[in-house]
Structure 1
Amino acid sequence: MTHRALKHLDYHNWANQRVLSHLKSLPEELFTREIQSVFQSVSEVVTHMCVADALWLKVISGAAYEEAKETGMRLKEMLKGKKIDDFVSIFQDTALQYETFFENLEDPDGEITIAHPAFGEIKTPVSELLHHVVNHGTYHRGNISAMLRQMGEAGVPTDYVYYLLSMKQPT
């Protein structure tokens, strides 16, 4: 993966796994505890992130938005009641699907046309849609950190610079 957008995909996957690992280290009930926040529980945020990643993968792979949305809704139903370990596997699988898609993509900056039912049609480079996926994940990882603080727990740093620093450290 040499394209800059693909490095951002690697960051996205790293940050998601970091958050999920952190959630696994906390009391299990925090994952589904209902609180007053943007989402009712951390599990709802994680589900939303998982569904969004899958939906946008379908879109950049050429599916119509409505078809991708239907796939997302089926996934959302399937994810009800899942544990953190289940999400770890699903996120890893989705990350592998993104990597495979981009490895087989001739030009990440090649344009595709997407039609959104509420916002209209745009022609945009695939790499720009990947940027949307990463940005969306960053936003919701922030929701999770805020929700954890609200429940008396610390979040985990997932800023891009921490990713860059972690890539410089020997494993």
Structure 2
Amino acid sequence: MKRHPFAALVAAVLLLAGCGATAEPKGQDDHNAADVMFLQMMLPLHAQGLELTRIAKERTTRAEVRDIAGELDAVQRTETEKMTGWLTGWSQPTAMNGDPSAHEHHGGLHQTSPAEIEALAKAPEADFDTTFLNLMTGHLHNSVELTRSEIEGGSNQQAKDLATTIRESRGKEIARLLSLVGQLPAR
């Protein structure tokens, strides 16, 4: 039986089209290593932020500091749920490689040190608000820095949108924190 050369081409196209139908769909589930790294690095940063806001809500005596701590807490909880959900949906671990040298090629770990968090928890009452505002300002700056790799190298649109939102909102929150530092009474 003689086949027409065009029939082989049609069969090849249909075979390839069938293979493509079983591949992971593009769109919300499409992701790359930059997306995974961004989320895995942002999750522990958010956990630290939640610890900072918890301490602030317990220790501050100023309503405006308690308010911003509450707002930051709520935003980071919502973002944590999203990021955890995406990683889980992509069958990726939510924890990153904890070895600091493993992250040197992209600027290292952008985190607040445990010693800084402990110092905040133990700060004298008279110094607490200034200590919190300064530490949280640096912490939020770390979040902004971390968004760069996602915005430049990520492929998942939701993760890139989250990175853009974090960059913009944390910039505004940093300005607000710095204005509160300027309003604190001099000692």
TM-score by length of 1: 0.38
**Larger fraction in helix:** 2
TM-score by length of 2: 0.35
Larger radius of gyration: 2
